[in-house]
Copies of this chain bind each other. A is one copy, B any other.
Amino acid sequence: MPARLSEVAALAGVHPATASRALNEATRNKVSADTVLKVRRAAEQLNYSPNPAARSLVTNRTSTVGVIIGDLTVPLFPPLLRGVDDVTSAAGYTALIVNTDNDWSRELARIAALQARRVDGLIVATATSGDQADPRIWSSVAPTVFVVRAPADPLAPTVLSDDSMGVHLAVEHLVAQGHRRIAHVAGPPEISTATARLRAYREALFERGIEVDPALVTTMDSISADAGTEALGRLLDSGAGVTAVLAFNDIVAYGCYRAVRQRGLRCPEDISIVGYSDMNGADLVAPPLTTVHVDHQAMGAEAARMLLGMLSDPGARPPHSVRLPVSLTVRESTAPPRQGVPR
């Protein structure tokens, strides 16, 4: 049972109100220097820590932020949460993390729970669900910033990674190795990043004067290794003569590995494959995966900083969205195309 403020005040020989002012950064200047010292010593001696319930009852703020994610087991989320946690906890905030299972009704329920907890702010990272939903659903609860996903309202504060840059890097790498027949295994068009990457893929090829052959892109209707296997399988069997593949993400890339193996081909000798995300373990598969590295921890940290900024002066207009740069991690799943491969 921790000490109360009144006990600290008594030990320091001052009124509780004075002790409160002495301990609170913002009001410390209203108290004489040696009183501050006495109070801090007393607080330390009694191992005082303020009761957050009592405090938030009067301040009407909880120093908590809600973080809404789809599925924690998706490898991009843990580092993202680390980023969020690093900056929020440094600022004295606590992150309340909720899973939605990518289920919209469940998401609504968890939003209600966060509202009941009176969170001061919201970080929304549900990549798929409710993409058409009105952002007011979240912002009516508390100031919110979106991360990873692009909200329906383009003006809402958002932290994204630069999909276009990532795809350009990947394509550039493949082209530099001599590839011309570069396929793309794309995600379903409902997902904003899927369309962004597809667009960037076409752009990147076009800019390099390479024919953009519609036969080289295949669209999955869900994102999984199996879908990747199936999609690339079709492409391989179509005789389109692909020598390299840009997969929607790493998981899909693993599926592509399988499709290649199933046909007795080898990666990277016969087919080069590049993934996207650089998820945990991408260096452990065989061959280690060349992939676009996105720093999800930095994205989480940036989103948290943005949110805390909004909380610190609610009057200011919302910050502008940012798009963080990415890099290419070259491993062993890409190599120059074999001579004489069918065009």
Contacts and interface: CB of A to CB of B under 8 A. Distances in A.
Number of copies: 2
Contacts of A261: 286
A89 B285 CA distance: 36
A138 interface: no
A82 interface: yes
A52 B118 contact: yes
A24 interface: no
A54 B62 CA distance: 11
Contacts of A49: 112, 115-116
A49 B50 CA distance: 25
A107 B252 CA distance: 37
A30 to B, nearest CB: 24
Contacts of A82: 72-73, 99
25 contacts: A49-B115, A50-B116, A51-B57, A52-B116, A52-B117, A52-B118, A53-B53, A53-B54, A54-B57, A72-B78, A72-B79, A73-B75, A73-B78, A73-B82, A73-B280, A78-B78, A85-B97, A94-B117, A96-B96, A97-B97, A257-B286, A261-B286, A281-B281, A285-B286, A286-B286
Closest 7 CB pairs of A and B: A72-B78, A49-B116, A53-B56, A254-B284, A73-B78, A53-B53, A53-B57
